[in-house]
Amino acid sequence: MNSKPMADFADFTALDLRVGTIIEAKVFEGARNPAYQLWIDFGPLGHKKSSAQITAVYTPEQLIGQQVIAVINFPPKQIGNFMSECLVLGSVSDHQVVLLNPQQPVANGLPIA
């Protein structure tokens, strides 16, 4: 049973999903919910920032160098005093988020299809 309405292929292709590597991570001081501020390298597409509520599973040190999958074409979103420029993806269970990542290292900026 689906928990959301059916989407068509155009909905999927409208998303720009890319691989990036986390190059910096720190505790998001002042966030309403525990979160980290992430700086992610998307290769030729440059660096983007993201706020992620992943503190239950990861420490900032564990995140450095980890490749992630992110949506990079959502409009920037102001979260407190931080501008989030992409949305990292993960699976959610009991308020814990486990990040999605490639099984093998790949070039930063590669698209997800």
CATH of the domain at 60: 2.40.50.140
Whether 7 is covered by a domain: the verdict is no
**What is the rounded average pLDDT for all residues in the chain?**
95
- pLDDT at residue 3 in the model: 83
- Stated pTM of the model: 0.93
Whether 103 is covered by a domain: the verdict is no
Whether 106 is covered by a domain: the verdict is no
Say whether pLDDT at 2 is over 80: no
Whether 82 is covered by a domain: the verdict is yes
Give how far Cα 34 sits from Cα of 72, 79, 88, 101, Å: 22, 12, 16, 22
Instruction: Give the model confidence (pLDDT) of 67-83 as tens digits.
Output: 999 999 999 999 999 99
The number of folded domains in the chain is 1
Say whether pLDDT at 61 is over 70: yes
